[in-house]
Structure 1
Amino acid sequence: MIIHAQEVHAKGLRYTIRSAVEQDAGALSQLRLQIDGETENMDRERGEAYIDPAGFAGIIAADASHPRRLLLVAEAEGRIIGYSRCAGPDLKRFLHKVEFGLGVLQEFWGHGIGKRLMTETISWADANDIQKIVLHGVLETNKHAIELYKRLGFEIEGFMKRDRILSDGKYYSTYIMARHKE
């Protein structure tokens, strides 16, 4: 699905939230690789489940033409600095929900980019009669994200004990969070 571009000025930064286009494929491939290496909050380590530019071009094309998929990018200073993606299965029993994920370059944290990507996604979901947005694997130590999700109407629906092993060799639990359309 495609949305109209939104211009944002927040905390000294001008950026645009827009639907991804095919020309973004290379930048998205590199962005995801960098974000995965900046924090352990993501599911992957740097280089795992790598998606090359051709793979992203396919995802962008498929998402743009699917009524229950949305791939957004945040663009500032002439480059893509964040992304979010919603995708819902085509199974009839699950047509009411989508799964959500996002990432923002660490150097741009604190400008409300993640929040803006989420609010645009929530608006899109509500306008398209999607009843539930699900976040899987929210790391228990990612308190800032958990509080943001809660402020945006998400609630904890589940807790996965010892779900991940991080670089310190310890196990960490994750939350399953969801927002239900009001």
Structure 2
Amino acid sequence: MKINDRDYYHRNLRYTIRSAVENDAGPLSELRLEIDGETENLDREQGEAYINEEGFKDLIRGDTESLNHLFLIAEIDREIVGYSRCECDHLKRFSHKVEFGVGVLRAFWGNGIGRSLLKESIIWSDSNDIRKMTLRVLETNKKAISLYKEYGFEVEGTLKEDRWLSDGIYYNTLLMARLNPDRTM
């Protein structure tokens, strides 16, 4: 599905949140690879589960055609600096919910880009009768956890010793979810 473009301003930075289009596929492939190498907060190490340009074209095409998928990008001066996706399981018993994921280049952290991607995803979700948004977050990512709680997400569970990071320690992953307040029964 697509949304209307929306401009945001934070401090002296102007950026646009918009739906991904097929021409974004090449830059998204490079961006995802770069973001994966900048933080251990995400599931992948740099280069793992690599998606090439054609793979991103397929994702964008599928997400655009699906009513329960959303692929957004954050753009500054026509350069993609972040992205988010909401993906619905195709099984009927799970069709009421989407899983949210986000990535922003480290150089742009602290500018509200992740917050704006989340906000636009929630607006889309709520206006499209999606009952539940879910996400997974590393227990040490306190800023993200605080942001998600601010937008109504609650911890539903913990995957114990779910991730093994470069410091040799196993960390828990929190399962968080937000119910659409207009669709509670």
TM range (shorter): over 0.9
Correspondence 1:130 to 2:130: yes
Please report the TM-score for the alignment, with normalisation by the length of structure 1: 0.98
Q: Give the AA of the match of 2:65.
A: S
Please report the TM-score for the alignment, with normalisation by the length of structure 2: 0.97
Q: Secondary structure at the match of 1:39?
A: coil
Q: Deviations over 1:122-152 (max 9, x none)?
A: 000001000100002x101100000000001
* Equivalenced residues, count: 181
Which segments of 5 or more consecutive residues in structure 1 lack a partner in the other structure?
none
Q: Secondary structure at the match of 2:37?
A: helix
Q: How much has 1:166 moved relative to structure 2?
A: 0.1
- Match runs of 1:2-151 below 5 Å: 2-136=2-136, 138-151=137-150
Q: Deviations over 1:23-79 (max 9, x none)?
A: 000010001000000000000000000000010001000100000000000000320
Q: Which runs of 4+ in 1 moved over 6 A?
A: none
Q: How much has 1:9 moved relative to structure 2?
A: 1.0
Q: Secondary structure at the match of 1:174?
A: strand
Q: Secondary structure at the match of 2:29?
A: helix
Q: Secondary structure at the match of 2:80?
A: strand
What's the RMSD between the two structures over aligned residues?
0.6
Percentage of identical aligned residues? 59
Q: How much has 1:177 moved relative to structure 2?
A: 0.3
